[in-house]
Amino acid sequence: MSGNINWRSIVGWRFIGFLLVATVPFCISEGLNSDGLYLLELRNGLRDQFNRLGNWNSTDRTPCGWHGVKCTSDNDPVVHSLRLNSLNLSGTLSSSIGGLVHLTELDLSDNGLTGDIPREIGNCSKLEYLYLNNNQFDGQLPAELGNLSWLRRLNVCNNRISGPIPEELGNLSLLVDFVVYTNNLTGPLPRSIGNLKQLTSFRAGQNAISGNIPAEIGGCESLELLGLTQNNIGGKIPKEIGMLGKLKDLILHSNQLSGFIPEELGNCTSLVTLALNDNDLGGSIPKEIGNFKSLRMLYLYRNKLNGTIPREIGNLSLAREIDFSENYLTGEIPSEFIKITNLSLLYLFQNQLTGVIPKELISLRNLTKVDLSINQLTGPVPFGFQYLTKMIMLQLFNNFLSGSIPRGLGLHSRLWVLDLSNNQLTGRMPPHLCQHSNLILLNLESNKLHGNIPAGVINCQSLVQLRLVGNGLTGSFPSDLCKLVNLSAVELDQNRFSGPIPPVIGNCHKLQRLHIAGNYFTSELPKEIGNLSQLVTFNVSSNLLTGRIPPEIVNCKMLQRLDLSQNRFIDALPNELGILLQLELLRLSENNFSGDIPSALGNLSHLTELQMGGNSFSGEIPRELGSLSSLQIALNLSNNNLTGRIPEELGNLKILEYLYLNNNQLTGEIPSTFENLSSLLGCNFSYNDLTGPLPSVSLFQNMAINSFIGNKGLCGGLLRGCSGKSSPSVPSLERVGAPQGKIITAISAAVGGVSLILIVILLYFMRRPAETVPSLQDKDISSPDSDIYFPPKDGFTFEDLVEATNNFHDRYVVGRGACGTVYKAVMHSGKIIAVKKLASNREGNNIENSFRAEISTLGKIRHRNIVKLYGYYYHHGSNLLLYEYMAKGSLGEMLHGASCSLEWPTRFTIALGAAEGLSYLHHDCKPKIIHRDIKSNNILLDDGFEAHVGDFGLAKVIDMPQSKSMSAVAGSYGYIAPGKHAASF
């Protein structure tokens, strides 16, 4: 019996235990409501590095006390708000979010969430506020967002969302704010946007939205802000925008908008900001612009606007910033600007404005920045400008201004930039330009100023750049400049300065640029030059300097450009020049150097130009020069006393374009390795003792006789045949009959006498720097409709490009931009080039002569950090730019691609290379070029991650039928587009 009872007890307890175990999960789940379960599932998809959601406990009955969760306060609480912003969360957003059907607010902004926005979010039908901005969401905007009929604010900016804005957006009749800027959205704007009667703000800038602005936009009757900047939107601005009577900010810059500015826009009388810059808008500025009585900011720059500035501009009495620069505006500057009493910024540069600068502008007491540069303005600089107390920047360069600079300029204002260069100004430099020690840049170059540099400028402690090139200034080198701790650039070229360069020059420790060419400086270079450890460019050419090059110059380890040409330097070069490993340009021509050419120059691996002609160098050409793999612009050893054979190693200079070895005493044959010089555009071997056949390549075989005369033993090509048959040659006096010889002698004596007189006269005018290498001449074109006007030297045709890209098939595309598509083309020779295909010229096939010169100029730019332009085709409606191919693509792609693996040393190298390229464009390029569109997508990288600056305005100009020379790349120093604060719109 007792045994039976035992057994039953055991069975009973086991059954009770089973029930307890079985009911535990049920009790727990019964304790946590459904919203809590959905939240736990949502947390499972997140990575919470700092345990910010640590109190999300599954044992709680409700999630109402959890971090970021808010519930209703009734008896059966439900989650109505979830705020998890700025918690360093990562991971994905679970589809369980769709279970929170009572949610009115969801804020997950400022985290690192990835993946798609789940379509289940459309189940949150009561949602009013949805903030997913500043994450890394990708995929498309789900069409189910259109189910959120109560939604008032939607912000998904700063993500990686792609695809179009769904048409279902028009279902959100209560939507007030729509913010999607800085994503990868494509496709056109939905026409259903016109249904959004409550919409006040639409911000979709920095995407790739295309198509036109739909006319239905006029239905957004409450709209106050429309921001579509930096997209690919084209077509005309719809006149229906004029129906938006409440519009305050219209930000459409950096698109492809064309046509006219509609006069109906004048109905938007509440406008505060109007930014239509960086488009293709044409026609005149409508006079209805004067209706914007509340306008503060007006940006129309970088378009194709023409005609005159309407006098109604004076109605904008509250305007603070007006920028009409980089257009084709004509006529005079209207005096009605005087009515805009709050105006602080006025940019009208790079137009075709004429007449004088209105003296009435001096009554605008709030003016701080004025730039009227690159126009055709005449007359004086208004005398009253010196009394504008808030003026900090005045730029009037590249005009035809005359008269003297107002003497009190700078006395009453804290000027920090003054650029009056390239005018016809006379008189002396004003003494008070740096009265308030604020001046950073002073550029008065290319005028007719005389006298000494004022003490107030020489002692200006804030000064960074002093540029006085091309005047008639006199005096000695201003020694006190070397007390200025911020000074980085001194340019005194082509003046009348004289005397020795003082040893105190060594105190200019921060100096990076020292240009004093074309003056009358005498004596020797002081050894203290070696103290300038930051010096990058040093040009003392065309002076009267004597003596030896001080060996201390090799301490300037950062030197990239050294020009000592056209002086009276003597003796041998320091062997240590070979340790200046950053050198890119070395010009030593037209001096009295002697001795051997140092073989150590072969170590200068960055050298692109080496000019040593017109000296007394002797000995053999060092074979080490064949190691200068970057040598591209020229190798000039002409007019020396060099002997021996031409080293065959020079055949390794495969990118060399000009080679001058004439007027020496070289012997032997022209090496057969010269057949490898595929980039050679010109060479000269005349007046040596060379023998044997010319290299068999067409360049040598077809070259003019003048390149080889004076070498009795050379044959082949246009010279005498190598079989012994003679070709036309230059006769010598020995072969001329005696009577003829006497006549020739008499004539020669007479000509020689006259020449001697002319030489004496010419010597005075030869004091200015001269180009050692002849420039490329523009190829003559018989017809304005020619298929090609700047041909690539490799000789490939348009048909070759079509074949290499399979008729520009998409599979050869390596990049797309607002101005065109870039293709990779592998030519028959194996050379890889980048072909940028642009839209055709909208005004026909004719290309202006001035623009041919512009492309030719850009095509001659040679710097290792500038993308090389090989050529340009215009063929049956296709504009093609041919560029050096960059294997690693753009820096932007590297930084913002799926995986960024750039280590910091590589990033530093890229930044340094880009800076060096820009420095060349800004300072050493002739003419100087200001890029003005520097961004990561315009920095291209080669196989070794070397940075190359590209796309500097060329593509935009090339489609302009009325391009003025260098119109899109010239600019004003220190210019920053004033509308950049609106970039995110």
Burial of 697: CB neighbours in 10 Å, binned 0-12, 13-18, 19+: middle
Percentages helix, strand, coil for the chain (3-state, rounded to 5) are 25, 20, 50
Whether 694 contacts 715, CB under 8 Å = yes
Distance CA 218, CA 215 (A): 6
Are the C-beta atoms of 154 and 127 separated by less than 8 Å?
Answer: no
At 741, list the tokens: 């010889």
What is the spatial distance between Cα 658 and Cα 671, in angstroms, rounded to a whole number?
A: 16
* Three-state secondary-structure class, residue 479: helix
Burial of residue 884 (number of CB atoms within 10 Å: 0-12, 13-18, 19+): middle
- Which pair of structure tokens corresponds to residue 369? 């920045």
Distance between CA atoms of residues 642 and 666, nearest Å = 6
For 838, the token pair is 């642009």
Give the integer Cα–Cα distance in Å for 2 and 105: 67
Tell me the C-alpha distance between 799 and 477, whole Å: 58
Going by the DSSP 8-state scheme, the letter that residue 217 receives in this structure is G
Measured in whole angstroms, the distance separating CA 212 from the mean position of its chain's CA atoms is: 28
User: Known catalytic residue: 480?
Assistant: no
Please enumerate in sequence order all residues whose Cβ is within 8 A of that of 781, keeping only pairs 6 or more positions apart, or say none.
789, 852
CA 177 – CA 585 distance, rounded (Å): 57
753 SS3 class = helix
Report which DSSP code applies to 663.
Answer: S
- Give Cα separations from 495 to 508, 770, 833 (angstroms): 21, 15, 44
Structure tokens at 506: 């060594």
Of 952, 820, 832, 954, residue with least CA distance to 886: 832
Q: Which letter does DSSP use for residue 532 in this model? A: -
- Alpha-carbon Rg for the chain in angstroms: 36
Residue type for position 130? L
Q: Do residues 933 and 953 touch, judged by C-beta distance below 8 A?
A: yes
Contact residues for 218 (Cβ-Cβ < 8 A; gap 6+)? 194, 238, 240, 241, 242, 243, 244
Return the number of other C-beta atoms located less than 10 Å from residue 193's C-beta: 22
For CA atoms 813, 816, 821, 822, give the dihedral sign.
Answer: negative
Question: Rounded distance, CA 885 to CA 943, Å?
Answer: 10
Given 933, 942, 943, 951, the catalytic residue: 933
Cα–Cα distance measured from residue 562 to residue 539, given in angstroms and rounded to the nearest whole number = 6
Contact 369, 348 (CB under 8 A): no
Q: H-helix or E-strand containing 491?
A: strand 489-491
* Contacts by residues 686-692 (CB-CB < 8 Å, ≥ 24 positions apart): 686/662, 686/710, 686/711, 687/662, 687/663, 687/711, 688/661, 688/662, 688/663, 688/664, 689/665, 689/713, 690/646, 690/666, 690/714, 691/667, 692/668
Residues identified as active-site: 933
